Structure 1
Amino acid sequence: MATGFYWDERCFWHAGGNYALTLPVGGLVQPQVSGGLPESPETKRRLKNLMDVTGLSAELDQRSAAPADRETLERVHPASYLDAFKDLSEAHGGEIGHHAPFGRGGFEIAALSAGLACAAVHDVAKGTLANAYALTRPPGHHCEPAAPMGFCLLANIAIAIEAALADNLVKRVAVLDWDVHHGNGTEKIFYDRDDVLTISFHQEGNYPPTSGGIEDRGKGAGEGANINLPMHAGSGHTAYLHAVERVAIPALEAFRPDIIIVACGFDASMVDPLARMQATSATYAGMTQRIKDAADRLCQGRLVLVHEGGYSEAYVPFCGHATIATLAGSAVAAPDPMLPSFDIRQPSPAFDAFLRRSIDDMAAKLGL
């Protein structure tokens, strides 16, 4: 079976309006022609272009999907939120959350993004594809049921999970979020559930700055089914691979999911403007291979990666290409011109040892 690749040109047309990080435009803050939204289409478009140029795209089963319908969206989001979002989208766009602006037609594009995630999870869970990558935009892991935030307008992965559960395609789902920011939305949606394991690796204190603590383990039936690994700034290749091996894989083995979904952000890379980590394209390939191997052992290879953050237009394409080629078991390569320099700049042996000890200490606290 093939690796599916879900994408749609219309997702690249999502716009955030006049937005310059968290700073007001004016005075000494010069507006940007693009509007200033760090979550731009270029990181995704350049990834797809690179895949086309190298020939990787030709090896994948490329698909689009229908937008998620109202019934599917309401399994996660209340009608009041969807109505407010749709009304503002039809008027002129704007912002109804925290750092989550959108232009006119933003509701339809967000529903399409959720639809791509739903289709990828559905087709892999049903067994028509070996695994899949969904190039979703806008992203979703920060969006809470009634509170969009952090560029996320609909909770793509949660919506896809609920759809697969409703269709009786799966009973137990594991989510590994290696976006550099805490997956607060996914956590909140499933916090009191024991049928969905949520694991988030993130830079400690980044975004949202007050969430993602190791002590947040879930509640009620979900006690122990939520795992946060707040990692130190400066964590690099070795630390990330150690986190996968020391925390993610033991947790997955204990949970025994029917499918694994990765919230795949590339913003832990060395040159991302919104974080301070030191991952490289080789890091993402290494994490993908380890989780792919775990999926082969635990859930018949059922693995879906859903695109989240990553804000370096120059480097996201190389991280994404390495990830998707690894997922597909492809020999098609896009040699990373920055990797030699980035390897030299990895944490010193002493700092790297400290980072790995910190992960070991957190794993012990988590009972892993």
Structure 2
Amino acid sequence: MTTGFFFDERCFWHGGGNYAQMAPVGGLVQPIAGGGGLPEDPETKRRLVNLMRVTGLMDALDTRSAAPMTREDLLRVHPSAYLDVFKTASDSGGGEIGMRAPFGPGGYEIAALSAGLVGDALDAVLRDRLTNAYALSRPPGHHCLPDRPNGFCLLANIALAIRRSQAAGLCGKVAVLDWDVHHGNGTEAIFADDADVLTVSIHQENNYPLDTGQFDTDAKANLNIPLPPGSGHVIYLETMERLVLPALRAHAPDVIIIACGLDAAVLDPLGRMLATAETFRAMTRMVMDLADDICGGRLVMAHEGGYSEVYVPFCGHAVIAEMAGGAITAPDPFAAIFDKRQPGAAFDRFASGLIGEMVAARGD
């Protein structure tokens, strides 16, 4: 098994722009720590990389960077009018041209690099050069619409990767599973009318965005699974078993891509869920086993959200270690206390009933 890990230090230099920071940045001057006070900062990703180096996991991976997505690649999803506005603002020092998606100078180039990491990870797996791959992409992408950035997302990383690989004849049918705590509205919108791409999103109900993410039995190529706040390990695994895995299997994709947000975890400041590092490890194993059965093990993960500097590294390490065979671990130092914070049996019965209603409505 060869697991690829795609990352680039320059993606950690993405920041909220001068208007959100007190220090002049640009060129070789890095943004201040924390990205100017934005929740989406580089420290969770840096600390994940650092933990992987300390445990030796990084040495067990095929570590790579990537070239930025070209304009030709970007135009497969984003119209030229949007790219031109984005590039002009980026060259002028940054700003905010969408909703909750600020960027600093050079933001356009960093976003294209982030998308390139996901694109090259998918390309390598589809060409059977890697068994599976994880792209530590930043800025994230699953909220970005074709003509508008949104929710920290400036380019639609996963959608761009899919469209480029389809254009190269490397894949036809694709399944995207998004387990970020927020609804993957951008990915869903881009592929809403494309029967070849199934999008599945498990998310906290009515978190972000507020006007998307509802369960809809009429959706042909999409499955939204809104879970109540407070859902934990048991409910996430039941959701996978009863809803997600059957949907992925029925679609029979050439490759499975996971929008790997880690903000459904305990402690996350932007979520109210109670998943743990073990939850993410177990879900990873479930999808890996399914991928082995239906698409030759081809699995790609693209990093999305996750805002706890303390806990994201352990959740990410659990995912990547499982992808690489599970021999190198980083024991969760919070496991005992987080197990005690899991929902009680009454809550789990309630949430299980909601899952059952969705299963029945789908006729699975």
After TM superposition, give the deviation of residue 330 of structure 1 in Å. 2.8
Distance 2:34 2:240 in 1: 39
Matched, 1:293 2:289: yes
* 1:199-210 paired onto structure 2 within 5 Å: 199-210=200-211
Distance 2:310 2:120 in 1: 29
Matched, 1:213 2:214: yes
Distance 1:215 1:290 in 2: 24
Distance 1:52 1:34 in 2: 23
Contact 1:217 1:225 in 2 (8 A): no
Distance 1:212 1:292 in 2: 25
Contact 2:34 2:43 in 1 (8 A): no
After TM superposition, give the deviation of residue 367 of structure 1 in Å. 2.8
1:75 match: 76
Code of the aligned partner of 1:2 = T
After TM superposition, give the deviation of residue 203 of structure 1 in Å. 0.4
Identity %: 60
* 1:133-282 paired onto structure 2 within 5 Å: 133-215=134-216, 217-218=218-219, 224-282=220-278
Distance 1:33 1:287 in 2: 29
Distance 1:73 1:357 in 2: 42
After TM superposition, give the deviation of residue 210 of structure 1 in Å. 1.0
Distance 1:91 1:341 in 2: 48
Deviations 1:20-47 (A, max 9, x none): 9xxxxxxxxxxx9752210000000000
Distance 2:206 2:315 in 1: 24
Code of the aligned partner of 1:12 = F
Distance 2:306 2:166 in 1: 29
Code of the aligned partner of 1:282 = E
Q: Which segments of 5 or more consecutive residues in structure 1 lack a partner in the other structure? A: 21-31, 219-223
Cα pair distance change 1:272/1:217, threshold 3 Å: farther
Deviations 1:67-108 (A, max 9, x none): 000010000000000000000000110000000000000000
Q: State the superposition RMSD in angstroms.
A: 1.3
Cα pair distance change 1:172/1:327, threshold 3 Å: same
User: What is the DSSP-based 3-state SS (H/G/I as helix, E as strand, rest coil) of the residue aligned with 1:133?
Assistant: strand
Distance 2:218 2:155 in 1: 24
Distance 2:286 2:211 in 1: 30
Structure 2-normalised TM-score?
0.95
Distance 1:328 1:356 in 2: 32
2:301 match: 305
Structure 1-normalised TM-score?
0.94
Contact 1:90 1:105 in 2 (8 A): yes
1:4 match: 4
Deviations 1:147-195 (A, max 9, x none): 1000000000000000110011111000000000000000000001100
After TM superposition, give the deviation of residue 356 of structure 1 in Å. 1.5
Q: Which segments of 5 or more consecutive residues in structure 2 lack a partner in the other structure? A: 22-32
Code of the aligned partner of 1:136 = S
2:27 match: none
Contact 2:137 2:304 in 1 (8 A): yes
| Among 317, 322, 330, the residue aligned to 2:318 | 322
Contact 1:142 1:152 in 2 (8 A): yes
Contact 1:47 1:318 in 2 (8 A): yes
Code of the aligned partner of 2:14 = H
Contact 1:217 1:226 in 2 (8 A): no
Code of the aligned partner of 2:205 = E
Contact 2:35 2:42 in 1 (8 A): no
1:49 match: 50
